[in-house]
Structure 1
Amino acid sequence: MSDLIFINTALCLPFPDVEALLQGRTIAAIPQTFIQPGRSFALYPSATSINLLTDEQHYKSNFLIVIQNVYTQLSSETVWIKAWAKCELCQILDNSESLEALSQLTIWQKKALQQILLQRQYIFIAHLRVYLLSNPIGIPVNPQGQFMGLPNPVRASTTLPVLGDRIFAQRKHQLENRQPPLHPELEELQSALASLGITNPAAKELDDDIKIFFGWSSNKLINEPDPDLAWIKDIAKLGNRSKQEDEGKNNYQAGTDFENVVRDSLDFLGFTVDRTHKGGAGGLDLFCSQPYPLFGECKAGKKIPNDTAVQLLNLGSLHRLDVFNQAVKLIIGPGEPTNQLKDAATVHRMAIINPETLEKLVKLQKNYRNSVDLFKLKEYLKPGQSDEEVEKYIDQIYASINLRSQIIKTVKELSEQDNQSLESILQRFTVTEIRVHYNVTHNPKLTDEGVHDLLIELSSPLTGYLGRIKGNDWRSDHFYFLHDLLISPR
């Protein structure tokens, strides 16, 4: 159940401040006057500001880089309210406050905070818990001081928090006590990646990972449909062609469609695909040079022709015989191979898989990036029909992911056993405590050493599901919960 409320007022804040709150980069706002904790309101992004400094002087440069493309969305006629917030705390700061520490934890430069103190003598820091609205509300531009009435009450719920409970509590504790940011270098890297990610998919991928690590973005991000990867769901369909589906296409064009999607699939899995091999009459359909040589033949239709193994043997041998003999040889096509084809593939050490199996591998790689180890996959590409063997490898990966999800869940359960005070939310646990709690309800039982290996992996900055406090030795390491590892449907 989620709390449902109706909101009649909006807090007017400068547009960059609201954008930072929406992105989860900060939980802090600087209202003009004190806000009573517990008060709820919509967030009105104002294009005007009472700041005497320019944006370049007021905000950190790395933050301005991130939002520069969002500025173009501002309208002179309509304001779009995308979120509402509840004030959890409001601090009153004066000249005795360390503005350097506050600046490190927010989007504002130290000199901007000093300027506000000169203007007002006090700075009010509101700690805001922000929730997205299911549908943005458009209202005419009409800022009316700090708070303004809304034309119509806004129906708001807590189903879409920008930050999870645990992350928000940690950030609130950090801001309240002026604890320095844990990973300032990563924040700088993320800012650089944000602008690169507009045109560079690899930079965007790493940018998304860092935002998830910081809690600026939900883990659900990895499960949202990516229009650039829509082709994945068509792999099996393109391999299992029919006359009805091929209406208006000749056999060559239908086969080319499947060859192209197979090349894209292997490239997505991590192979280096030689694009000069494009099949066609008398041509090799597929060659991958890294991380190991792989020769392939693609067949679309209802079944794989009997002579496919011989065809791959002849074409591959013409490429370079010494490389071909040691390479992985793969036939990808529909249906159950005939005994003749299976026997030929076994003799020449060629693996046969269906388009459905390839689609499952690519879908796994999409849902859990870099989960497919190509060298391990090589071990399951057995001579003859290999679908069952490759399925075993896919099952192993899902089991491995599920184990890690359960370890994360164990740490989360431990932190929820006590009351919901801030201290329990931030509680850390030893390897033995985590292992004991896990073994109560799971089989097979794990050892301290095995659990510690998993905890180290899950607390890596590149994963960020758990946090780690390093001890004098591995047994005195302590771990705490950061993010869930969501299990995607297969």
Structure 2
Amino acid sequence: MNQLVSITTALCLPAPDIEALIQGQTIAVLSRMFIRPGQKFAIYPTDSSTIPLSVERYYHSSFLPIAHTAFAKLNCQEFFLASEIISIKAWTKCELCQIINSAESLAALSSLTIWTQEALQEILKQRQNIFLAYLRVYQLLEPLEIAVQPQNRQFVPLPYSLTVSQAKPVLSDRTFAIRKHQLETLQPPLHPELEDLQSALASLAITNTAAKKLEQDIKAFLGWISEELIEQPNPNLAWINDIAALGDRSIKQDEGKSNYQAGTDFENIVRKSLEFLGFTVDDFHRGGAGGVDVFCSKPYPLVGECKAGKKIPNTTAVQLLNLGTLRLKSQELFKQAAKLIIGPGEPTTQLKDAAIIQGMSIINPETLEKLVKLQSKYPNSVDLFQLKEYLKVGQSDQEVEKYINKVNEDIKLRLQLVQAAKEISEQDNKSLKATSQSFTVTEIRAHYNATHNPKLTDETVRDFLIELSSPLTGYLGRIKGEDWKSDRFYFLRDLPTPKN
């Protein structure tokens, strides 16, 4: 339920701690006094003068890039804004406040938070108590700007009563409950190396899209973000939508463009498409006068001829045969290679017959575009060796369509199994015990079979669950038993479902 809340006060916290809260990296902060559970505050960033040690000694080394950046941004904001305005991005509700007055648990607490053991010891030494406040954080729909406040306060008043919404929680109820239970019971972090890697990527992610994607994937795996991952359209892949149009010039005539230029444009986008699918395109055999349009050397030889226009000329098969043999300088290599003609329209009977005799496959640009879109939507989903089996001699569009449908069905099955593991773990979402349960292959298979067809066997489900719990995928977790029947699996994160 999206409940509206009115708040009048801001809780002052070091800027890096707020950044860690908003990123989902932590759910707890160090307060100077006890905070009553249920209290709600905006969170106001303070500078490094409010921490008892140097930044390098106060925060874990893996967190330092984020800490330095957060303090630097705050200092720049205060320096450059003549009106001395600070921006507040989130508000929070206290769920629990623990009082720690013994040093025995500080090492374990440090391993689960952003602070060093030395920092916790220093605070305990100075104050005799550590007030560890567990905060449920919500992002504001619009940032709130207030005047800069004195740095030595625990709370500061807001200029007016602020009505806030629970519409944008940083963590879901389930994820917060699991994280809270882990911190309360001081369970050791499951993946400390990944946490270090995420911190190292944080600064790179600001300017590097690949680093940002990897960082987001790691955060999702660690449970620091809990929204279902939705793959946003990548502007660098807009060319994918032009494959069919460049191949079939009857769709839109190219004003002021020669046939040669149109053919070159199509050849270039075919080469780019094949590289995107995972082929290694050999530049040495690049097309032009007397050359084949495309030659791929890995993972297996593939030679191709590209024809842009309204239809594929009858002589295309002969051209591919002659030029391919000539340029590859090896009849044996040409014989072993997959031979592909890509062009628009329905091939003539003469071209089909020639292609069948010479072992050549023919596909439309639309089919190539569908393959590339599949690879874009689900990276590495196109198995080039499996695809080769569907490149039948003659017209192959229907066969390749079968392969695309097969891959989509395989992915759909995996999505459903991940969802089954998630659903069974949330059957009683109010119970923390239920949210942290793991399940056997048989239990997940039974839940899946109750709502899906065709029914699956334990052996089939086992194979999929092992794949989905691999460190390279990480959608499920796995607790190994004495044999596969006693293995247990638990939900970690949703399998990303990109937008169409």
Which residue does the alignment assign to 2:196? 188
Q: SS of 1:30's equivalent?
A: strand
Q: Classify 1:371/1:133 alpha carbon distance in 2 versus 1 (closer, same or farther; 3 Å).
A: farther
Q: Classify 1:318/1:131 alpha carbon distance in 2 versus 1 (closer, same or farther; 3 Å).
A: farther
Give the TM-score taking structure 1 as reference length: 0.91
Deviates more, 1:337-346 or 1:385-394: 337-346
Which residue does the alignment assign to 1:334? 344
Q: CA RMSD in A?
A: 2.6
Look up the equivalent residue of 1:171 and give its one-letter code: R
| Counterparts of 1:26 and 1:310, CA distance in 2 | 65
- Equivalent positions of 1:265-414 (< 5 A) are 265-320=273-328, 321=330, 322-414=332-424
| Counterparts of 1:139 and 1:245, CA distance in 2 | 58
How far 1:443 moved relative to its partner?
Answer: 1.6
Which residue does the alignment assign to 1:176? 184
| Counterparts of 1:6 and 1:423, CA distance in 2 | 33
| Counterparts of 1:219 and 1:296, CA distance in 2 | 43
How far 1:326 moved relative to its partner?
Answer: 0.6
Q: Classify 1:199/1:135 alpha carbon distance in 2 versus 1 (closer, same or farther; 3 Å).
A: closer
Deviates more, 1:151-160 or 1:460-469: 151-160
Q: SS of 1:412's equivalent?
A: helix
Which residue does the alignment assign to 1:123? 130
Q: Size of the alignment, in residue pairs? A: 490
How far 1:181 moved relative to its partner?
Answer: 0.4
Contact 2:425/2:435, CA 8 A, preserved across alignment: yes
Is 2:153 the partner of 1:150? Answer: no
How far 1:193 moved relative to its partner?
Answer: 4.5
How far 1:222 moved relative to its partner?
Answer: 5.1
Contact 1:316/1:324, CA 8 A, preserved across alignment: yes
User: 1:302-348, CA deviations, whole angstroms, 9 ceiling, x for partnerless residues?
Assistant: 32232222222222212323222111122222222222222222222
| Counterparts of 1:72 and 1:399, CA distance in 2 | 49
Which residue does the alignment assign to 1:481? 491
Contact 2:229/2:496, CA 8 A, preserved across alignment: no
Look up the equivalent residue of 2:25 and give its one-letter code: R
In structure 1, runs of 5+ residues without a counterpart are: none
Which residue does the alignment assign to 2:223? 215
| Counterparts of 2:207 and 2:281, CA distance in 1 | 22
In structure 2, runs of 5+ residues without a counterpart are: none
Q: Classify 1:57/1:67 alpha carbon distance in 2 versus 1 (closer, same or farther; 3 Å).
A: closer
User: 1:11-69, CA deviations, whole angstroms, 9 ceiling, x for partnerless residues?
Assistant: 22222111112222111222222222223333333344411322221111212235656
Which residue does the alignment assign to 2:96? 89
Q: SS of 1:441's equivalent?
A: coil
User: 1:204-238, CA deviations, whole angstroms, 9 ceiling, x for partnerless residues?
Assistant: 55444323211234565551122222222332233
Q: Among residues 232, 237, 240, which one is paired with 1:224 in the alignment? A: 232
Tell me which structure has the larger Cα radius of gyration. 2
How far 1:436 moved relative to its partner?
Answer: 1.6
Which residue does the alignment assign to 1:430? 440
Q: Among residues 119, 124, 127, which one is paired with 1:112 in the alignment? A: 119
Q: Among residues 215, 236, 246, which one is paired with 1:238 in the alignment? A: 246
Contact 1:349/1:384, CA 8 A, preserved across alignment: yes
Q: Classify 1:27/1:445 alpha carbon distance in 2 versus 1 (closer, same or farther; 3 Å).
A: same
| Counterparts of 1:341 and 1:149, CA distance in 2 | 80
| Counterparts of 1:110 and 1:206, CA distance in 2 | 29
| Counterparts of 1:267 and 1:66, CA distance in 2 | 36
Overall identity of the aligned pairs, in %: 65
Look up the equivalent residue of 1:81 and give its one-letter code: I
Look up the equivalent residue of 1:479 and give its one-letter code: F
Is 2:43 the partner of 1:43? Answer: yes
